[in-house]
Chains A and B, each alone.
Chain A
Amino acid sequence: MSQHKKTIDFGFSEVPLEEKVKKVKGVFDSVADNYDVMNDVMSLGIHRLWKRHTIELSGIRPGNAVLDLAGGTGDLTKEFAKRVGKTGRVVLADINESMVRVGRDRLINQGIAGNVDYTITNAEALGFPDNTFDLATIAFGLRNVTNKDKALEELYRVLKPGGQLMVLEFSKVTQPLLAKAYDFYSFNILPKMGKLIADDEASYQYLAESIRMHPDQETLKQMMLDAGFDKADYLNMSEGIVALHRGWKY
């Protein structure tokens, strides 16, 4: 390899490719325990509504096989597990062991067991056969993935024909005034709250920056089509603070 290493955005600071994976892992290692609390505080609890809406639109049913990629502490996995029942299966896959551990303990405490598998996986190389899942989700995870195109191709591969991918992610705010206020919130307030609650300003600074660097609605839709999806669309929630992208494999 030459001197010129490929660099990639780590938030706004450009870092070599291979370091990004390490950095992302570090970020989530340091927030794992406080993740749920921070999530509530940061989004003022609205992330629950975004997730509920995602679940409603999934159209999931008993017996389905679901992949919750970058599943973290398992918010979506829990709801999916209840809906697919014991005849179905949900796989929570995440690159970060501490997040998965916190998630598994939490779900078992809540009586969810028997139809959930937990696995440590990088989104860019999924260890599942082709045509495995009826539904795949990646919620607030894609923006952390280094090679997003590869991850989308992998998600397409593991979906059954007729299956659906749902990507829930921070996106581009459509209302200009709100966009300004939201930016201010993300860059000035969020990292400070991170410091106060989790004593971890850098991680939340990263979260704010990675939100800004994430592709906007139309770009992500095109990326999904390029990755092989036969149809893709999206839906803005909360004026585009978050967008839900859906892709279908026919």
Chain B
Amino acid sequence: MILSQVFEFALNQAVRLDEQQGQVFQPLNDKVIALQLNDLNTTLYILFTDYGISVQNTLQGEADAKIETTLTDLLAFAQTGLLKHATYQTDEALAETFVNALGSVEIDWEEHLSHYTGDLIAFKIGHAARSMMQSKTAVKQQIGDTLKEYLQFELNALPTHSQVQRFGKQVLQTQKDVEALENRIDALSQQLSQQPASPSK
């Protein structure tokens, strides 16, 4: 999962498990909150609608309110209930409503973030990995082992020269595997055509 998906899942699960079904988020309906995480060089846009909460990393136009903080502070906030370093912009009251609502539901960020695998396949991994790298030291010290682990995972995801060569070989191997698969499918089709035709279709 990429970061926006992790947040989307975490927030919606918190709402589902909440005794009041996330009533606290009600005032945010049809609004967009920008959450700028300085240590990750990332802004997440959190959209509230009747269908629930969606999170994405791009937004046309301005968010209704913006919160500038760090992932580190956010994780600490979940444990202590105190959001230490944060600034509110645009509609400050709305930003505060969001932070208060977030503080009132239970979210196990460490658990959720353990599903964060980075932008591996279809996504451009370079940018995310680099911005993670810049903040590596700061993040490492402050957030527990979980974050360290997937940070390393993300760094490892950047291919080296020899990895690229290996990739080429693997592609060739894949082609061979695919040929084998083709033979297998041929065999299966033959078996199928020998059976009496099925009545469906």
Contact = CB atoms under 8 A, between A and B. Distances in A.
Given A83-B47, A237-B122, 8 more contacts: A50-B122, A57-B58, A59-B56, A59-B58, A60-B60, A84-B49, A85-B29, A188-B178
Interface in A48-80: 49-50, 52-53, 55-64, 79
Nearest to A49: B122
A61 B181 contact: no
A134 B201 contact: no
Contacts of A49: 121-123
Interface residues of B, number: 39
Interface string A161-204: 00010000000000101101100110011001101100100000
A123 interface: no
Contacts of A193: 185
Interface stretch (B69-77, B104-112, B166-174): B166-174
Nearest to A241: B122
B4 interface: yes
Nearest to A163: B60
Contact of B49 (A83, A185, A238): A83
A196 B54 contact: no
Q: What are the nearest 5 A-B pairs in CB distance?
A: A85-B49, A59-B60, A59-B58, A49-B122, A82-B51
A61 B171 contact: no
A134 B171 CA distance: 41
A188 to B, nearest CB: 5
B189 A112 contact: no
Given A49-B123, A192-B186, A193-B185, A181 B61 contact: no
Given A61-B47, A85-B30, A177 B172 contact: yes
Contacts of A238: 121-122
A223 B161 CA distance: 36
A177 B165 CA distance: 11
Given A189-B178, A192-B189, A199 B201 contact: yes
B20 to A, nearest CB: 20
Contacts of B52: 82
B171 A181 contact: yes
B158 interface: no
B22 to A, nearest CB: 15
Contacts of A56: 4, 56-58
A50 B124 CA distance: 11
A185 B181 CA distance: 10
8 contacts: A56-B58, A58-B58, A61-B32, A62-B31, A81-B51, A82-B49, A82-B52, A192-B189
A62 B60 contact: no
Nearest to A51: B122
Candidate in B58, B186, B192 with the most chain A CB atoms within 10 angstroms: B58
B50 interface: yes
A86 B31 CA distance: 12
Contacts of B51: 81-82, 85, 111-112
Given A46-B122, A242-B122, A59 B178 contact: no
Interface string B24-59: 000001111000000000000101111110101111
A65 to B, nearest CB: 12
Contacts of B45: 59, 61
